[in-house]
Amino acid sequence: MSEAQYDFDTSVAHPARVYDYWLGGKDNFEADRKAAEEVIAVRPSILYDIRANREFLGRAVSWLASVAGIRQFLDIGTGIPAAGNTHQVAQRIDPAARIVYVDNDPIVLVHARALLTGTDAGATAYIDGDLRDPAPILATARRTLDFDRPIAVQLIGVLHLIADEENPKAIIDELMAAVPAGSYLAITQPASDVNAEQAAAGAQRYNSKVATKQTRRTREQTAAFLDGLEIVEPGVVQCHRWRPEPGADVSREVSGWAAVARKP
């Protein structure tokens, strides 16, 4: 692929590509790797935290599909495909599950077209869209998802890219207003109040290198995103402590909050 062909600037670090590097992926460029390594230098725990965030995605989708009976997923802020994508987890439980992915990084779009293919019984689609503008996302998602039936809206590893002045709560409310009762919201949010000093140093380094700045938030601020929804047990917890697999080590701290909530 060429930069011109897909119209993205490889000289500026992008969140999806930095995240890909932290996960051990290969779909990143020198600027992304440099930014990622500079964050690691001041916050080595980022690698563990990012993996905990990714593992939460798998557990949340599995719970939503197997326990909550959800068969439709709107995954916004998809990122570059990695092992255990939403459609792989959901369609393993029910091949008829329907998934719509959304991201605004051109390199994600390139890989989504090639990799995000689902079962014949279900459906998998991709939207080139920005969470800051939910209306066109919702309009396009209706081509694949039935908005008269419950939908799981997933905002995994993306809310920190929405600044406070961009009103992330209003964006969430618009998304959840569009889906029916019995739908769910799954979120993660990098924490400002866990390993606070190291997290702040990592955020400062990240924001000096990456085009889209991050906003870390407290547990209380994260919980406020779920106002009006019924929070599923165990509540708003560190990512690795949300319904961990039996025998999983949850003793160390992860600087990231996670939760799942139901629309009544």
261, with CB counted inside 10 A (0-12, 13-18, 19+), is buried
**pLDDT at position 116:** 66
CA–CA distance, 231 with 223 (Å, rounded to integer): 9
Predicted confidence (pLDDT) per residue in 134-148, tens digit: 999 999 999 999 999
Winning range, highest mean pLDDT, from 20-29, 48-57, 82-91: 48-57
Residue 120 pLDDT > 90, yes or no? Answer: no
Non-local (6+) Cβ contacts of 90 within 8 A are 61, 64, 65, 70, 71, 73, 97, 99, 122
CA–CA distance, 184 with 133 (Å, rounded to integer): 20
What the chain holds in terms of domains, given with CATH numbers, is 52-194+214-262 (3.40.50.150)
**pLDDT at position 117:** 67
**Radius of gyration in angstroms for the set of CA atoms belonging to the chain, rounded to a whole number:** 17
Predicted confidence (pLDDT) per residue in 2-29, tens digit: 333 445 678 888 888 898 899 888 888 9
